[in-house]
């Protein structure tokens, strides 16, 4: 799928074409610019950082260098210098843009957390006691992060049946999760904490994330230590990494928090991103995808990316260039703003219609696509989709 990126956006990607091995590029219009072909014209960062085949070397450079490189590339695009290194997106194979070092998935949407609590703990307080005081999260499996377009095989795991028997079987409750991810750069030492007001200096760029979930496997295993095999089989991310420098128009005040966060999580100017998020499903055996979810990230998220990162390091845990943090499922207050099928079907009790098809959870052959747009000047910019089709177990 070609995406038309405006000249000032220049999202990063890793691409290959024919005998040309994987290399770093940026999106310009419906083309890809091969940065290694213009590396000799770039002065803001060392040549090796833009001639690499992954973003990781650039992620070590730090926020000032990232911003300087983005503005330099915008100027080079305006002057026509990048034109000789452009090739159509349709000719490219896209790869994961960086080597994911560590991956933490958070639980940052209050609407999602409350709905899940109502489904699993009816009659009690839907929010866990700690939820309004800290950004809850779990440590995911970085080796299972895959790029847009990668098919996902239905996982097997232990499942507790209604009669109490335990079986090892393919999940019957495969779900998507609509999330916003941040690629982390810079490095901290073990024992070092990142302050809330400087946390955004470690946020290089944004990707869409589908943290696939096997709800029946998850339900049996998550007590006492949380998600494990129900999540670790696959996490899909978009091929394009939109730099934070291109998202200045999308920054917006974060939702007020009550009770106020503790001091170390209370930013001077808390911000979120005004991203319009959508989920589309193409049912197996059909050619038409239908939208099943639309929600705004800024309205749907209680905890911000800066708070997530500050919390992650508040005990002295290290950051590494190439870490990924994700928001957790983004949901809004309306019924059609659920960021997963678990919410939309009330745990499978209320099937939804997708065209002429009925779904409680995903069927083999279904294809899920996440999309997002952000304000960009007088228009919008796409963040690049993330899609994946379900393969049989």
Share of the chain above pLDDT 70, in %: 100
- Residue 122: per-residue pLDDT: 87
pLDDT tens, 268-314? 999 999 999 999 999 999 999 999 999 999 999 999 999 999 999 99
Mean pLDDT in residue range 222-232: 94
CB contact burial 156-194 (16+ within 10 A = b; e otherwise): bbebeeeeeeeeeebbebbbbbbbbbbbbbbbeeeeeeb
- Residue 171 predicted with pLDDT over 90: yes
CA–CA distance, 8 with 22 (Å, rounded to integer): 24
- Residue 121 predicted with pLDDT over 90: no
Catalytic residue among 70, 112, 202, 302: 112
Global pTM value: 0.97
Contact of 384 with 376, CB cutoff 8 Å: no
- Residue 20: per-residue pLDDT: 82
- Residue 258: per-residue pLDDT: 96
Question: In the annotation, is 112 catalytic?
Answer: yes
- Residue 1: per-residue pLDDT: 79
Q: Work out the pLDDT band at 336, boundaries 50, 70, 90.
A: confident
CA–CA distance, 375 with 298 (Å, rounded to integer): 12
Q: Work out the pLDDT band at 343, boundaries 50, 70, 90.
A: very high
Q: Which residues pair with 236 in a beta bridge?
A: 146, 210
Q: Work out the pLDDT band at 371, boundaries 50, 70, 90.
A: very high
Mean pLDDT over all residues of the chain? 97
């Amino acid at each position: 799928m070609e995406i038309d990126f405006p000249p000032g956006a220049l999202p990063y990607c890793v691409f290959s074409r024919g005998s040309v091995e994987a290399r770093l590029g940026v999106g310009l219009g419906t083309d890809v610019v091969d940065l290694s072909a213009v590396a000799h014209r770039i002065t803001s960062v060392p040549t090796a950082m833009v001639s690499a085949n992954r973003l990781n070397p650039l992620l070590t450079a730090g926020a000032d260098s990232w911003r300087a490189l983005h503005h330099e590339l915008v100027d080079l695009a305006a002057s026509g210098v990048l034109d000789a290194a452009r090739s159509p997106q349709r000719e490219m194979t896209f790869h994961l843009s960086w080597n994911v070092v560590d991956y933490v998935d958070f639980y940052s949407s209050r609407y999602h957390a409350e709905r899940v609590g109502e489904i699993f703990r009816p009659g009690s307080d839907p929010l866990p006691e700690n939820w309004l005081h800290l950004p809850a999260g779990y440590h995911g499996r970085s080796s299972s992060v895959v790029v847009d377009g990668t098919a996902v095989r239905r996982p097997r795991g232990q499942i507790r049946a209604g009669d109490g028997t335990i079986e090892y079987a393919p999940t019957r409750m495969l779900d998507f999760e609509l999330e916003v991810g941040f690629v982390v750069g810079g490095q901290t030492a073990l024992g070092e904490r990142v302050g809330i007001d400087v946390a955004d200096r470690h946020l290089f760029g944004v990707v869409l994330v589908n943290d696939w979930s096997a709800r029946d496997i998850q339900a049996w295993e998550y007590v006492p230590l949380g998600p494990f095999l129900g999540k670790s089989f696959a996490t899909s991310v978009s091929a394009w990494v939109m730099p934070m420098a291109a998202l200045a128009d999308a920054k917006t005040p974060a939702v007020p928090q009550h009770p106020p966060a503790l001091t170390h999580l209370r930013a001077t100017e808390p911000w979120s991103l005004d991203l319009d998020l959508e989920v589309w499903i193409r049912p197996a055996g059909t050619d038409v995808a239908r939208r099943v979810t639309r929600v705004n990230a800024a309205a749907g998220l209680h905890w911000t990316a800066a708070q997530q990162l500050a919390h992650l390091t508040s005990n002295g845990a290290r950051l590494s260039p190439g870490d990924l943090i994700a928001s957790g499922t983004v949901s809004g207050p309306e019924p059609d703003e659920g960021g997963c099928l678990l919410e939309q079907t009330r745990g499978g009790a209320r099937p939804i219609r997708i065209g002429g098809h009925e779904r409680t959870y995903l069927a083999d052959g279904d294809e899920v696509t996440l999309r997002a747009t952000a304000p960009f000047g007088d228009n919008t910019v796409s963040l690049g989709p993330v899609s994946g089709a379900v393969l049989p177990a």
